[in-house]
Amino acid sequence: MNTIRLSINGQVVEVEKGSTILDAAKKANIHIPTLCYLPEVQAIGACRVCLVEIEGIGNLQAACVHPAIEGMKVHTNTEKVRKARRFSVEMILSNHPMECLTCARNLNCELQKVAQELGVNEIRFAGEKSKGIIDESSPSIRRDNNKCILCRRCVTVCEAIQSVSALSLQGRGFETQVMPAFENGLGEVACTNCGQCSLVCPVGAITEKDDTQAVWDALSDPTKFVIIQDAPAVRAALGEEFGYPPGTLVTGKMLAAARKLGFDRVFDTNFAADLTIIEEGSELLKRVKEGGKLPLITSCSPGWIKFIEHFYPELLPHLSTCKSPHQMLGALCKTYFAKKEGINPKDMVVVSVMPCTAKKFECTRPEMTDSGYKDVDYVLTTREFAKMIKEAGIDFRNLEDGTYDNPMGEYTGAATIFGATGGVMEAALRTAYELATGKTLEDIDFVQVRGLNGIKEATIPVEGIGDVKVAVAHGLGNARKLMERIKSGEAGYHFIEIMACPGGCVGGGGQPIPVDARIRTLRAQALYSEDKSLKYRKSHENPSIKKIYEEFLKEPLGEKSHKLLHTKYTPRNRY
């Protein structure tokens, strides 16, 4: 027998061997509050909020770690349990700053929620509070350790999922703080800015660096021509901030909201995603034909870029030289579009709405100024964009669907799937196949590279070239495994796609909170369904892309492309 029967509150539950009491309770639809527990990532029983009573065991036990045992009788709703859970939360609150009204996580805070659920209605313990640092050294992430409840979720996600380990617990007892090594700030260490820590933080201790005010200032300045662009994954998640279920595609409302906010032009990063495919696809074919460095590795994910710069600088020549799509679009706004419209690029402000915190850092890189100006001025996360829509009093749910502007708005299905793991690979294969063979690709759904498996591999026969071996990894821990395979020489890949965040951009560090495997899957499905619904599904068929090559860029990997759309990388050390 591989199942166990136990009773919870008198209700008999049957669960698989190896389940915890918390798993069993979930199966029985009995709610047990949690705080430090995070499915798929961490179960350590540290916060003592999930305490339950087990008959025959004197002390209360943490449901998230205690195994379910045959015949066990568990009680989740006794006076002893209620009191103990409330006490645990009161102890956490006794060392919490209570700035809830002005906190970025107000109304979306797990501590707030659990305190309310448990009926904490007074602060019984008022004493000395530990003093935490406020870390503003990173252009992507802000940390306020005064709000930290030491649940360690950020530490675990950074180490176990991302294999970066920028954060760890430092010090002991009352003085314990989550910090990088040597009390440095995140901006000073080997942090990839992926922002997964900000996604899993139950409170407001880790948030993105807020750039909304700078964008408001640009919008209120009559001398500025302000352009907005939205990444593919934003349209699959933004709705969640306005009460839509995960996986609701809100492309039309997103574009309409951008226009209502007062942006002068609403472009789409998807256009630049198509452009990326043309450039990167051409780069792949060139390297295959001319014996260049293989495997070629994608470069759209700035968290991944910073990771390889820190941890595998020797593999940098494998990276595609393509900038990430929004940086390409920024550079084109301030050159191609500025000239076309007769606008001085000096007066232009380009704002990117991204599912990503790492792009905040990316847009400050000194090499991202090929237009002669900062190619992208500000990056907002999906969360910040939602906040601006709310601040502006826009009734998002009742917006009429809007459209993007030309000449850099039109996009194909290949571009929209960029937001999910495997999407860039699939889009590239659709185009590279046709560029290489000159034949029409009939079955364009490369399902082998879709889904949430950590590392996906496929072999695609391409006439004239032979078998093309590809691999896809999402989450930096999986990326590390692939890099080790490249270093050991065991894998003969031609092309690799890497996205820093689990699930790809749909699970990006700047996306609405919470995110879990189910939500990542639903968001990805939304993108694949948009792909299916579009007239053009291959990047090279995008009429606006054809036009920009005719009018401006001339040819893929040409002189203009080289100057504006490609970049170089910086080896960095680990300490």
109 as an active site residue: the answer is: no
Applying CB under 8 A, which of residues 7, 170, 369, 403 lies at the interface with another protein? 170
In order of 290, 345, 470, 497, the CA distances from 465 in angstroms are: 12, 43, 14, 20
- 509 near another protein, rule: CB under 8 A: no
Applying CB under 8 A, which of residues 12, 79, 107, 172 lies at the interface with another protein? 172
Distance CA 402, CA 263 (A): 13
Report H helices in 240-299: 251-260, 269-290
For the bound state, the minimum distance from the C-beta of residue 190 to another protein, rounded and expressed in Å, comes to 8
Q: Determine how many CB atoms are found less than 10 A away from the CB of residue 387.
A: 16
- Which of 185/451 has CB closer to another protein? 185
Distance CA 541, CA 440 (A): 11
283 as an active site residue: the answer is: yes
- Which of 164/506 has CB closer to another protein? 164
Nearest to residue 207, comparing CAs of 61, 67, 384, 34?
Answer: 384
Site stretch for another protein (CB under 8 A), options 174-182, 263-271, 276-284, 323-331: 174-182
- Which of 135/530 has CB closer to another protein? 135
Q: Which residue has 């189910």 as its token pair?
A: 518
- 188 near another protein, rule: CB under 8 A: no
16 as an active site residue: the answer is: no
For the bound state, the minimum distance from the C-beta of residue 38 to another protein, rounded and expressed in Å, comes to 19
For the bound state, the minimum distance from the C-beta of residue 309 to another protein, rounded and expressed in Å, comes to 17
User: In which element (H, E) is residue 499 found?
Assistant: strand 495-499
- 182 near another protein, rule: CB under 8 A: yes
- 166 near another protein, rule: CB under 8 A: yes
Q: Determine how many CB atoms are found less than 10 A away from the CB of residue 304.
A: 26
- 317 near another protein, rule: CB under 8 A: no
Catalytic residue among 367, 391, 463, 551: 367
| Burial (Cβ within 10 Å: 0-12, 13-18, ≥19) of residue 313 | middle
Distance CA 329, CA 347 (A): 17
- Find the helix packing angle between 476-488 and 302-311, rounded to 10°: 50
- 447 near another protein, rule: CB under 8 A: no
324 as an active site residue: the answer is: no
Catalytic residue among 309, 362, 434, 497: 362
Site stretch for another protein (CB under 8 A), options 164-172, 195-203, 464-472, 522-530: 164-172
Question: What is the size of the binding site for another protein (CB under 8 A)?
Answer: 16
For the bound state, the minimum distance from the C-beta of residue 201 to another protein, rounded and expressed in Å, comes to 17
Q: What is the DSSP letter of 368?
A: S
- 550 near another protein, rule: CB under 8 A: no
Applying CB under 8 A, which of residues 25, 51, 72, 167 lies at the interface with another protein? 167
Q: Which two tokens stand for residue 447?
A: 């399902």
- 168 near another protein, rule: CB under 8 A: yes
Contact 63, 25 (CB under 8 A): yes
Handedness of CA 332, 333, 335, 340 (dihedral sign): positive
Contact 360, 509 (CB under 8 A): no
DSSP class per residue in 299-353? ---HHHHHHHHHH-GGGGGGB--BPPHHHHHHHHIIIIIHHHHT--GGGEEEEEE
Q: Which two tokens stand for residue 170?
A: 């430092």
Handedness of CA 79, 35, 167, 157 (dihedral sign): positive
128 as an active site residue: the answer is: no
Contact 549, 556 (CB under 8 A): yes
- Which of 535/574 has CB closer to another protein? 574
Applying CB under 8 A, which of residues 33, 45, 132, 180 lies at the interface with another protein? 180
241 as an active site residue: the answer is: no
47 as an active site residue: the answer is: no
- 126 near another protein, rule: CB under 8 A: no
Site stretch for another protein (CB under 8 A), options 160-168, 234-242, 347-355, 506-514: 160-168
Question: Following CA atoms 110, 113, 119, 124 in sequence, which dihedral angle do they give, to the nearest 10 degrees?
Answer: 50
Nearest to residue 414, comparing CAs of 299, 498, 540?
Answer: 540
Site stretch for another protein (CB under 8 A), options 82-90, 166-174, 201-209, 252-260: 166-174
- Which of 177/539 has CB closer to another protein? 177
Binding characters for another protein, 73-102, by CB under 8 A (x = yes): ------------------------------
Catalytic residue among 359, 360, 374, 456: 359
- Which of 247/475 has CB closer to another protein? 475
- Which of 166/258 has CB closer to another protein? 166
- 488 near another protein, rule: CB under 8 A: no
280 as an active site residue: the answer is: yes
230-289 residues near another protein, rule: CB under 8 A:
none
Contact 394, 257 (CB under 8 A): yes
Site for another protein, rule CB under 8 A: 159, 165-172, 179-182, 189, 574-575
As annotated, the active-site residues are: 280, 283, 300, 320, 359, 362, 367, 505
